[in-house]
Amino acid sequence: MPFDSFSFLLFFISVVLLDRMAWGTPARKPILLIASWAFYAGWNPYFLPMLIATSTLDWWLGRKLMTASKVMKNRWLMLSLISNLGVLAYFKYRFFIASNLDSIFDTGLLHSLQAPGAASWVLPVGISFYTFQSLSYCIDAYRGRLPATPVSWMDFSLYVAFFPQLVAGPIVRFGDFYPQLARNPRSDAAQLGTGVALIIIGLFLKVVGADSVFAPSTDLLFASATHDFRTAWLAAMAFSGQIFCDFAGYSLCAIGAARAFGFWLPENFNAPYAAVGFSDFWRRWHISLSSWLRDYLYIPLGGNRFGALRTYVALSLTMLLGGLWHGAAWTFVAWGALHGLYLILERLLGPMLTRIHARQSWPVATLLRAVAWLITLLLVMFAWVWFRATDSAQALTICAQMLAPNSIQTIVVSADSKLMACGYLVLIALQLAQRRFQLLARLQTLPPVILGLLLGLLLSAIIVSPGNARAFIYFQF
């Protein structure tokens, strides 16, 4: 169930109360597990058996991987990779693979997949997230990075299914979560308070920011048949704002919900639009995924240990696959490819730019840094067009206009889009400020009256912004 729903409100209050009653008893973990399954079944009860089956298989494989010989370990790991990625490929990529095979070999595969009577499984919510989480457990078990003590099925199932992070992350590592489970953390007033505060801020980002300020302009501008330089950049701006508020809002709600039960989840966003350079961007955007890709893909592909060319190949593959992870479409691959290209260019030009920067006086160095920030932001926005576009033709049309400042500007910009642009500037200013001041951390140090008024204002804004509720963008991944 989405965080921005009445059903979640009822669910959350019920589970917090149940959890408080079960503190210190053996019933706590089963209650959290059953609640997490109920949370997942809230979307579609038919998804639940697959979640239980895949997590049970990975739990069993993990036990094998911890105790098997070297040869058997390789086989068990292969089985884990095949089962996890096979399930993901079937549910998420079968139509994409079939349509591409069709276009090359004319196999008719897509037609047979779509024929009446063919299995028509819909994509289970959050499958990409929990698959990666399960997979990282098996790979860590293979690498011998997990505690040697046997992990109970209950603990592992709760690690995968823990409802705050189940559907759209943050992607949690077993090594980070298991010690918390073992400790069976008790939520105190501060954790419950911080958790609820984070949920309110997250919901504000989602309901007011993403759904009310940015999404209407995104829909309008991307649906438009014609674009000029100005509206093309406005479209990119609108989606940049929407996807940040949507996903960072979700992540804050997830972190806050976990905190209310005494669990800590990793930070997922840290002022990404204040990044200077693309490595910096990826240390700030969807941090749990980018660190997952780094540890389980980029480094195994060689990372930066085998020279420049191999590094560029590893970077490109990581970003291409990272793009494909988001969705079964070439537009996502193009988005990943663009970021791969940005990272390679940064590595090529980085040393030279660093030398130039180091030689300048303070004002010039600051100016250069500001230019680098602006270029980063504009190129990130440019890439978002591919992420949002319905197809390559739409992305190409909008990107072409973004690169044509002399295009005739006759399209009337709506009042909604003007407000959206103002909202985007505020968002950027806040992220630049957050880079220096860590705004969220400072919130907790505010006096109760100020904090209460601020959160009361945000909560009121959420309530008076009903809008057209939209699913969180990352649920589709």
Partner 1 sequence: MKSLSKNRNHWLLTFAIIVISCVALCAMAEQHRRAQGHLPTVRDDLNLWALERSRVDGLGENAIAILGTSRILYGLDPQALARALPGKVPVMLAVNGAYPLAALSDLARDANFTGTALVDIDARGLSRYYRDMQQAQVSRFIAGVGPSAAVHRRILSQWQAKFLLGDADLGLVPTLTRLIFNAAPPQPRHATIAPNRAGSLDFQHPNTNTAAMAANFAAGVLADYQDHPPPAPDQWLAELDDVVKDIRAIRARGGRVLFFCSATSGAHLMADQQGYPRAQYWDRFAREIVVPNGARAIYALDIPAISALRLPDSSHIDQRDRAAFTATIADLLKKID
Tell me how far, at minimum, the Cβ of 353 lies from partner 1, in Å.
Answer: 40
Burial of 82 (0-12, 13-18, 19+ CB in 10 A): exposed
Would you tell me which residues interact with partner 1 (CB under 8 A)?
1-2, 5-8, 10-11, 41-45, 188-190, 192-193, 196-197, 200, 208, 212-213, 415-416, 418-419, 448-449, 451-453, 455-457, 459-461, 463-468
Output 208 or 315, the one with its CB closest to partner 1.
208
Tell me how far, at minimum, the Cβ of 249 lies from partner 1, in Å.
Answer: 15
Output 155 or 219, the one with its CB closest to partner 1.
219
Cα separation, 377 vs 3, in Å, equals: 29
Output 154 or 192, the one with its CB closest to partner 1.
192
| Selected catalytic residue, list 111, 227, 286, 326 | 326
Distance between first and last Cα of the chain: 15
Output 57 or 454, the one with its CB closest to partner 1.
454
Are the CB atoms for 311 and 302 separated by under 8 Å? yes
Q: Quote the tokens at residue 282.
A: 């990826």
Tell me how far, at minimum, the Cβ of 58 lies from partner 1, in Å.
Answer: 25
Cα separation, 349 vs 357, in Å, equals: 12
Tell me how far, at minimum, the Cβ of 23 lies from partner 1, in Å.
Answer: 14
Output 121 or 306, the one with its CB closest to partner 1.
121
Cα separation, 288 vs 436, in Å, equals: 22
Cα separation, 258 vs 187, in Å, equals: 10
Cα separation, 90 vs 67, in Å, equals: 30
Tell me how far, at minimum, the Cβ of 274 lies from partner 1, in Å.
Answer: 24
Tell me how far, at minimum, the Cβ of 129 lies from partner 1, in Å.
Answer: 18
Output 196 or 402, the one with its CB closest to partner 1.
196
Q: Which of 190, 289, 267, 279 is nearest to 434 (CA)?
A: 267
Q: How far is CA 111 from CA 118, 200, 446, in A?
A: 10, 46, 60
Are the CB atoms for 40 and 32 separated by under 8 Å? no
Under 8 Å CB-to-CB from 366, ≥6 apart: which residues?
none
Q: Which residue blocks in 283-414 are alpha helix, DSSP H? A: 287-293, 307-326, 330-359, 362-388, 392-402
Tell me how far, at minimum, the Cβ of 161 lies from partner 1, in Å.
Answer: 16
357 is catalytic: no
Are the CB atoms for 126 and 162 separated by under 8 Å? no
Q: How far is CA 238 from CA 211, 219, 225, 241, 470, in A?
A: 11, 9, 17, 5, 15
Cα separation, 113 vs 328, in Å, equals: 16
Are the CB atoms for 28 and 17 separated by under 8 Å? no
Output 116 or 448, the one with its CB closest to partner 1.
448
Give catalytic residues, as residue numbers: 326
